[in-house]
Structure 1
């Protein structure tokens, strides 16, 4: 949904699986009024970066899964603290963050504003190649 076809999809697939491929986004001023929400159903029309609303639960999961994507992208020949840049450690941290963050009081009722943006691909360049 958000990534260009050429980009690695492993963490995106895990993120979608976490949400059972079900996402909820809406437009307008009815952030806290679930009866009057205008759902976003066609993201190809949402590229003007006018923003939309979505559950805080989705936002927390997005942030946690982004951490695993960063770890995967920078992992390679450079020297890093293995614990910090390990993909397995990043997945572990994401699970811990999600477990505790999603159990927080009010997380199911909380909403978060976001801007529509489609990702662009990035590839780490190895010096000298």
Structure 2
């Protein structure tokens, strides 16, 4: 082996692969430059930087409905089911003179089934909220 001893590389001094130089010099003015991490303020709403960035809250709502959106969302969910949509079309057609059945015989079962299902969903959502 010609040559000599090779200089041993100390990986503990390498930070963010900056050509083998230690990048932390104790001066905090270099924060934000390559090789440095971000400063994150967790759970500190009084921090100046956190107030400037206007982060959203951590509120989690586990309910599906609110008081204002229960009726429209629930009706939408009910008529996504093919059977309910089919019986809605039959109920609409029962108001025409071509229908052999009375309109009440088609509308009443549909209203009862949809009303019972909406009531069940309201109770489940109320229990989920509690």
Normalised to the residue count of structure 1, the TM-score between the two structures is 0.26
With normalisation by structure 2, the TM-score equals 0.26
Q: Which protein has the larger Cα radius of gyration, Structure 1 or Structure 2?
A: 2
Greater strand content? 1
Flag the structure with higher helix content: 2
Instruction: Say which structure, 1 or 2, has more relative contact order (CA 8 Å, 6+ apart).
Output: 1
